Structure formats: C-alpha cells, structure tokens
Amino acid sequence: MKYMKQITLAVLAAIMIAGSANAQMVGNYTRNSDDGPQTIVVQIIDDKLFCTRESDGFEMCHGLVLSDDARWRGRTMKHPDMPRFMTFNGTASFSETQMNLRGCAMGICDAETWDKQ
C-alpha cells in the first residue's frame, strides 16, 4: 500500500509537469486543519483555477472559472473532510496575503481563509 501511494504521487507529478506548458503558478497557501497546517499549491491551468493539497494531491478547487467580479467560481469544489464523491458550488478570491474560499452543498455553507506562504 505504501508503494501504491508513492506511485500515485509520482504519476500525479508527471501529469502536472507534462501539462505545465499552460500552467501559471499563483502560489502556495497554508490551510489550517485539525491535523495541522497543510500546504496547498494554487495554479491556473488553461484559464481555470486548481488548488491541490501538496501532501497527497487532493484537489480542492477543481477548475474554477474567473467571473466578472474577480472571483473564481465553480461547481466541482471538494472538501477533504467530506466524502470524496461529493462536490459543491464554491468561490475563491484573493488578497495580497490570503485566499478566501466559500462553498455550499445541500444548503450547508462553509468558508476558509488560507494565508499565502
């Protein structure tokens, strides 16, 4: 099982490198969780925003699109504390030092603020 995780991470890294021709790094952010701080890698790939947890490749902001109000919006955001098959509507916005996220699923909403590293 340990090797399967290493192989999966290697494959994800190869895919990210292969697709990086259209990628723009936004930055690394710190997400505070019950398990401690997590590094989230934020990129724009083909004009869509992606937020990936560095430790395991978990994709939280999956392909958000920039709207006219300077917020990134999408319907396929995921939360690491929810079942992996669940997605929700969400928005992401940026300041110079933080990334703010808000999402709702089935009438339940939550928000997080991540600090830029």
The CATH number of whichever domain residue 78 belongs to comes to 2.40.128
Kindly state whether residue 8 falls inside one of the protein's structural domains. Answer: no
* Domain carrying residue 56: 23-116
pLDDT value of position 82: 84
CA atoms within 13 A on the CB side of 112: 21
Q: What is the pTM of this model?
A: 0.77
Average pLDDT, the chain: 85
pLDDT value of position 10: 44
Question: How many independent structural domains does the chain possess?
Answer: 1
Looking at this protein, which amino acid is placed at residue 32? N
